[in-house]
Structure 1
């Protein structure tokens, strides 16, 4: 009889762990999920190369209902102790957060970590036949999350499941459950912070759906301040509300619906007694969800705050990627501390968001300033004021034509070296700057513009033709437009999943705006080759990455500096809707007196001086990468690799032992790639046809490398094959040639026996017979690998 210790982990799960769970009363189909992928695996990028890290995958997640995880189990084979998987299970619990119990098992028993301390202790070992039932763990969940019996009906309401099978990611699940449970407990103001690209609207939909279906909330208002957001919401997840959904338009108020979408501007804009929102009674809505709540609704003196104050009896839920905290505007003062935060760094580390690399380009006139020579006139013949101009002036007060041309040249140069059809957003100072930049880009890309004039487009608040192309720019399937210039219109709320290049040629002094702009590139689109994006920075905006506020918790500022952004709703029609259901104009934001500039500013706000004949050159250029700690790093690929490997292997001897002991070298190669060691690009940099082993030892430990052919020749010189019979010797010699040509990972796979020239020796079974049996063949391959690396 086979010993328990000889069983694989899969066998232990099938024979012992799963039956124990089912015997405790768990439904195998609706409550037990196996091999649950919690993350996607971080994307590592250096230059043009990228690699996916490993997913975090739990062996079991147990659910009381499909939306409520209440236990995590990590399984090990019986050569491990019963508690050996508990640390790994606790790591998964750090993601799911509100799960009351985690377990480890090797098939002998369960080791329990109970966050409620329900049994008087946190950790204990329990027999297989005493695993808790769903009802027992549900009681612990309610205890941990302080849910009483009256709140259970709401907290236990199911999600909406559509036919596509789409389900919330782990962090969305946590966010939805926390909001629903908080509303059930009677909390009136709730703030949720989710990084751009992580699905705020989907979270809002599932939250509203559960509160609506449970009848906890019966009439719900979803508020936004851009037509693009309303349109995306209506045609996206909210379409599942069907006939219960209605979009509010001015002067067309209907009160027979249950779910309402509205622009702030669609509810205000009249005099005090005729504002559209006043046509509803003060207690008409019992839930209001405010999208992008950082953009003004929290400001005490905001006109939009009137709406929230009017419907003060309703529960208010604020959604944002960038909570605004200044002396004058505070999300925290209004909503309280965030109930849950999922940051950009977390999204990148989990592999749900794209990492970035930053190309920092310093122009001479930016870094050194520019002072006109005596008698210098502008293009209109007027004398230019004699003073030193700098980046705070360029394209706001002073236009240097050659500077615009140089920026367009560098953008085009980058795309020509990478992908000329990579969707690109160029953020400019204002509409005039965006218009001139579009012209300069067309001149730099005349060949592609001649084929399709929409290769370069200006999409700004005043440009109707450009705005009509916004849907095409957002569409993954649409090639054109490719290069888009804008100022404020695309900073927030506009999804461009395939955007691969963001160009910063505006002075961005607001952390809120900076985060929003970076968020335009963070969406992943693997099916379209989008795994990372590049930021080309011409104005030293990348310094914001070093600020603790970039990816830290919101901190309330005591002072409001002159460089902070002020969200002022402008009375222009910059985001005109193009469908019948949403007619009201959106709002672009600008403060003409703010030093940052950057708004879509109407003609005549300021007079600009335009000069030419100025020499503009690139003084410095460097690439920085998203580092392991979430900060930008200037490490070269070689230095990054060396640090990475040495952090995991204390010495060359440590690595050699690990390499020789590995059953399959491919496992170590995959492990290194999962940590961001990009072997193909390293091969290109070294310029030699090296085995991954030699590549790593050379770069990390300064060992003299040997090529694969050199290693193969050394094996032959030692007459290693003499101990085998003729047929076995021929097989091994051919495997050695395969190694020399293609690498170690190719000879480890049994598939190699089905390929030329090995298949000439017969079927895999016949080849195994040359060695005695399959096990002896595998042992011979392992011995060959040992011989290949013997010199090391």
Structure 2
């Protein structure tokens, strides 16, 4: 009999678990997938660098499916040195992610079966290898658990469109929507964060309902041309000849899938409401993309269409469900059948985390004109206090534009001047001025290519023609886009690394949509995170942590007794694009907001504007922003892990890899890069902890390296070994401990001039002796 104890986990899978599943009737080609990646691993931002946290990658050993796209169970394997139940908690976590009721754990001796359907009255029980349930058994229990009646089973089991594999949350969203239809639910809401593939999800829902003949004719509504066109040419392409876009106010009733701007089928006069050319029961399904932008309001143009096609199933898609005293998505659609939040998307590694830099300008905090001051147009400026809410609405300080442009440019120069950037402005006039200010601030690059900065607004034809180039990762220009509302939604700018907020935003819905312009990840083009540069305190709207996720770093200026502005009657907080739209632009009618009753807009060119002093807030491990100083926060976090200096030193000296302790502290929110900047010295994380948390005098990395060189540490080594260790000390002085602990460093200069990694380790007597020497070097460094 084979000794299972010597087998690896993979051997247990191959020799025992897979054969058991095969014998139970599971098709190994179509119903079983091994090593199924569920998440990509959260992106960890360190200074201006980012990397995937491999420890956060979730991967299931087995996922069992009725057919592709319809998961039923998770099986977690362990080697035979573990008990049969050792993997059950892991399996349950993955089962919850996949929305399935069955989880199994095995070590090759038997299975522990967790059955949420309670079919036999037991939640968990151990079963032999040869008693694994068949696909049909689990499928029938699954249907019963879901409450799916036998007469609609074919609909729920309808095939997905083959091709691009769906992520776990996309499968959940599609299956929940199909389940709702199967249960005769006619109003369905899906909430999915921007960048998580709402349109692809909608396509799979429509495909399955269409193929199952549960929806023979479908209307897909959006409010931006770019949304409709992207949908038609990308995700909906498989519909081919069955699909048409309604345009030029003409209707052809020979198609089955219709895409339309709501502006294209509605108008102020009955003759323009061409949707009435269809009979009220023509469509079986109406899908409303970005449904927060108007469908929930009873007096909106969208609602007129939905009310007309009242007998159809209405599926709303949004990243930001709208809930105000006037408008409610949940009142119209009901509670979401599935929600995938920005926070979860960041945690799973599918969406980009972000940093926030808050910048206050002195005049925004309160400015009063001198008596009799005349503006550019010859108007006497009203004598009152102007503040942030007035800027670029009732008061234009052109040198404020220059100050904002200068700060944006400083940021890009410090990071990447070719990083795609969107600057959200108050209105079209502001966007035009900001384009000019940014062009002047970046004259060296703008003179080489005039499209380095472009105004992309609803009234600017040249700018709108460049929108596709801005979105395209392979087109370098435009780099900076100034806009007002046109780019708020529907702009799939995967490589956007900087979002600038210089617009008054009081609507959480609009704020989330704007932030969504940066949340997509594009690893091919090194886009793993993005920055929000906030000049209008808009990021104070990060008030929904359960949905939004939290920033990595917050810059926030010192308060200088800001003056609370009066209510501004011009502030259209609830502008959701449900009116004032134009079919030709396919977006909100961007016009300059009127200054307000009894007010005019003053334009002043002579008043200087400056950035005020800034202070920093940091994100804590509990997901809340830390308001105390970075040093205080560091002391608290280190104190939670190490009760004393002795405890820290003991842990540091006992670990073979110092980087492991550094990674753990960084995982708890300690920002060593920022601490080193504050200290103004090249301090090792070891010295930063000892100095900040325990009050010890620090040494720079170079001082530590020189101290070791002066000791009689190298005497016992040969010539080549001494050169390697001396080079490692220089590497430590320049870059820190991480580099000298990695064997891969031996492939880099100057080590490659001394010999190959194998030859260099042989000079120490072999790999084991080399690793011993590195540990001794570490102890010498940190004595």
* Bin for the TM-score computed over the shorter chain: 0.7 to 0.9
Alpha-carbon deviation of 1:641? 6.2
Instruction: Give 3-state SS (helix, strand or coil) of 2:236's partner.
Output: helix
Which residue is 1:120 aligned to?
121
- CA spacing shift, 1:651–1:203, aligned 2, 3 Å: farther
Q: Are 1:105 and 2:106 counterparts? A: yes
Which residue is 2:605 aligned to?
612
Instruction: Give 3-state SS (helix, strand or coil) of 1:240's partner.
Output: helix
1:781 aligned to which of 768, 771, 777 = 771
Alpha-carbon deviation of 1:133? 2.3
Which residue is 1:297 aligned to?
295
Q: Are 1:391 and 2:388 counterparts? A: yes
Which residue is 1:580 aligned to?
none
Alpha-carbon deviation of 1:126? 2.4
> Does the CA contact (< 8 Å) of 2:356 and 2:532 recur in 1?
yes
CA-to-aligned-CA distance 1:386-417 (integer Å, 9 cap, x gap): 11111222211111222222112211122122
The residue correspondences of 1:456-467 to structure 2 (distance < 5 A) are 456-467=453-464
> Does the CA contact (< 8 Å) of 2:221 and 2:260 recur in 1?
yes
Alpha-carbon deviation of 1:749? 6.7
Which residue is 1:192 aligned to?
190
Alpha-carbon deviation of 1:60? 2.0
The residue correspondences of 1:580-659 to structure 2 (distance < 5 A) are 585-588=586-589, 592=593, 607-624=600-617, 628-633=621-626
Q: Are 1:432 and 2:432 counterparts? A: no
Which residue is 1:222 aligned to?
220
Q: Distance in 2 between matches of 1:644 and 1:122?
A: 40
Which residue is 1:31 aligned to?
31
- CA spacing shift, 1:694–1:397, aligned 2, 3 Å: closer
Q: Distance in 2 between matches of 1:177 and 1:590?
A: 42
> Does the CA contact (< 8 Å) of 2:265 and 2:272 recur in 1?
no
Which residue is 2:357 aligned to?
359
2:493 aligned to which of 488, 492, 496 = 496
Structure 1 gap ranges (5+): 553-560, 578-584, 598-604
Q: Distance in 2 between matches of 1:111 and 1:701?
A: 49
> Does the CA contact (< 8 Å) of 1:711 and 1:788 recur in 2?
no
Q: Are 1:454 and 2:451 counterparts? A: yes
Instruction: Give 3-state SS (helix, strand or coil) of 1:83's partner.
Output: coil
Instruction: Give 3-state SS (helix, strand or coil) of 2:230's partner.
Output: helix
Instruction: Give 3-state SS (helix, strand or coil) of 2:351's partner.
Output: coil
Which residue is 1:600 aligned to?
none
CA-to-aligned-CA distance 1:637-689 (integer Å, 9 cap, x gap): 77666666665666666666766776766766666677776777777776777
Number of aligned pairs? 754
Q: Distance in 2 between matches of 1:652 and 1:751?
A: 32
- CA spacing shift, 1:135–1:765, aligned 2, 3 Å: farther
Alpha-carbon deviation of 1:199? 0.8
Structure 2 length as normaliser, TM-score? 0.86
1:532 aligned to which of 529, 534, 539 = 529
- CA spacing shift, 1:47–1:736, aligned 2, 3 Å: closer
> Does the CA contact (< 8 Å) of 2:522 and 2:528 recur in 1?
yes
> Does the CA contact (< 8 Å) of 1:46 and 1:637 recur in 2?
no
- CA spacing shift, 1:136–1:759, aligned 2, 3 Å: farther
Which residue is 1:263 aligned to?
261
> Does the CA contact (< 8 Å) of 1:567 and 1:590 recur in 2?
no
263-272 vs 221-230, greater mean Cα deviation = 263-272
Alpha-carbon deviation of 1:615? 3.0
Q: Are 1:65 and 2:67 counterparts? A: yes
Which residue is 1:576 aligned to?
584
Q: Are 1:565 and 2:574 counterparts? A: yes
Q: Are 1:129 and 2:138 counterparts? A: no
- CA spacing shift, 1:670–1:270, aligned 2, 3 Å: same
> Does the CA contact (< 8 Å) of 2:216 and 2:256 recur in 1?
yes
1:486 aligned to which of 476, 483, 502 = 483
Which residue is 1:314 aligned to?
312
> Does the CA contact (< 8 Å) of 2:459 and 2:590 recur in 1?
no
2:408 aligned to which of 406, 411, 416 = 411
Which residue is 1:342 aligned to?
340
Which residue is 2:377 aligned to?
380
> Does the CA contact (< 8 Å) of 2:32 and 2:63 recur in 1?
yes
Q: Are 1:203 and 2:201 counterparts? A: yes
> Does the CA contact (< 8 Å) of 2:724 and 2:751 recur in 1?
no
- CA spacing shift, 1:237–1:60, aligned 2, 3 Å: same
Alpha-carbon deviation of 1:711? 7.7
Q: Are 1:94 and 2:92 counterparts? A: no
Q: Are 1:401 and 2:398 counterparts? A: yes
Which residue is 1:10 aligned to?
10
> Does the CA contact (< 8 Å) of 2:195 and 2:516 recur in 1?
yes
Q: Distance in 1 between matches of 2:77 and 2:68?
A: 22
Alpha-carbon deviation of 1:480? 1.0
- CA spacing shift, 1:622–1:27, aligned 2, 3 Å: farther
- CA spacing shift, 1:457–1:378, aligned 2, 3 Å: same
Instruction: Give 3-state SS (helix, strand or coil) of 2:447's partner.
Output: helix
> Does the CA contact (< 8 Å) of 2:110 and 2:127 recur in 1?
yes
CA-to-aligned-CA distance 1:319-355 (integer Å, 9 cap, x gap): 0011111122111111000111111111111111111
